[in-house]
Amino acid sequence: MKKIILVFFFLIKPSLIFAENYNLKELVSLNSPWGSTFINNEELIITEKGGNIKIVNVVNNNLIEIDHNLNFREHGQGGLLDIIYKDNFLWISYTEKRGDWETSTSIAKAKLNKEKLIFKNIFQANPPIESRYHFGSRLAIKDNYLFASMGERGEGMIAQDPSKHPGSIIRIHLDGTIPKDNPKFEGKDDWLPEIYQIGVRNPQGLTFSEFDGNIYMSNHGAKGGDWFGQVKKGENYGWKILGWGGTNYSGSPIGPKWMPGYTKAIQYWVPSIATSAITIYNGKEFNEWKGHALITSLKDKSLRKLNFNDLSNVKEEIIFKEKIGRIRDIQVHPVSGKLYFLSENSLWLMEKN
């Protein structure tokens, strides 16, 4: 009997399931929401991929729509993407029309106005590309720096070309000017001045950690090879030299999971879970999670928690799975610490019982 129990424990240990002591509540219906950001303790601004920007009052669930002037194109995986707020300003990443069919992942800035947002571009990923795929794109703010993830638009090895933006992490100042300590100015002469790191595929998670001051990201692999890792100045995550454990959709090999000379991720997922938005939790509601990474997913429809304090022993828990559908975004309430999720068609609240 003892042997059976030990074998059973061994089998369940790698995929720990969180004991349910929380409630999930659907707040409002939306249409393909993508990004969100709190502008105060009651209001959350949300982008919808099709072009709408909305404010939801999370106390009474009142919803209003805001006009804007963005020259966007909803095309495949593209449209309005992430949005982030600081000091009465908003920054948005979006798919910008750059020609008859060419588009780029671009970033614009606007002063907060609840009637109409007048955005001004502060960054365009070049070259513009005719593609429906892999725009990225998340935003994170650290001090006076704006970090943004640029998808490689399905072009593979373009992510290894630092003279082009697709497949990179960029770092600019909040006004769009370029930091003088970016890699371009510290010996990497062939890098574009905005590029901070290269070698990523389709990074849809990016966040700043208040605990160690680092920027962390999540990235879609191909058929397998999703990962969570740290943004590191002047380094290379290896796409498409490395496959991170995944293969091409045809089943053909891409490359090794990792090899020396490339940035090593903190956690990999094979098969793919389709990693999406992430946050390093810092709040009251789930106080025991402070400093842990919360990873949302699309294909797997799960919320996962990573304790990565010891990189040699990363501990993963599945908090829930297949309860609210594909999860696009996650936000932590600035006061209560309760969690807010964007699914494919709704805003959800997660709180303790």
User: For residue 103, is it within any domain?
Assistant: yes
Parent domain of 172: 18-352
Would you say residue 5 lies in a domain? Answer: no
156 in the Ramachandran plot: left (φ > 0), alpha (ψ -120 to 50) or beta? Answer: left
Residue 240 lies in a domain: yes
Looking at residue 17, what is its pLDDT?
Answer: 52
Residue 63 included in any domain:
yes
**In the predicted structure, residue 26 carries a pLDDT above the cut 70:** yes
Residue the block writes with tokens 């090794």: 256
Mean pLDDT on 107-127: 98
CATH number at residue 24: 2.120.10.30
Q: In this structure, is residue 232 part of a structural domain? A: yes
Q: Which residues, listed in sequence order, are joined to residue 236 by a DSSP beta bridge?
A: 198
* pLDDT for the residue 35: 98
Identity at 198, one-letter amino acid code: I
Residue 187, in any domain of the structure: yes
Using only C-alpha atoms, what is the Rg of the chain? Answer: 20
Give the pLDDT band (50/70/90) at residue 125: very high
The rounded mean pLDDT for the chain is 94
pLDDT beyond 60 at 124: yes
- As given in the structure block, the two tokens for residue 222 are 């191909």
Per the structure, how many domains does the chain have?
Answer: 1
Contact 192, 163 (CB under 8 A): yes
Please report whether residue 168 resides in a domain.
yes
* Average pLDDT estimate for 51-75: 97
**238: in domain:** yes
pTM of the model: 0.94
| Strand 145-150 with 168-173, pairing | antiparallel
Strand bridging mode 315-321 / 16-17: parallel
The confidence band for 20, taking pLDDT boundaries of 50, 70 and 90, is confident
User: Does the pLDDT value for residue 291 go beyond 60?
Assistant: yes
Per-residue pLDDT tens digits for 247-285: 999 999 999 999 999 999 999 999 999 999 999 999 999
Handedness of CA 223, 229, 231, 233 (dihedral sign): negative
**Residue 9 pLDDT:** 37
The whole-number average pLDDT for the span 301-329 is 97
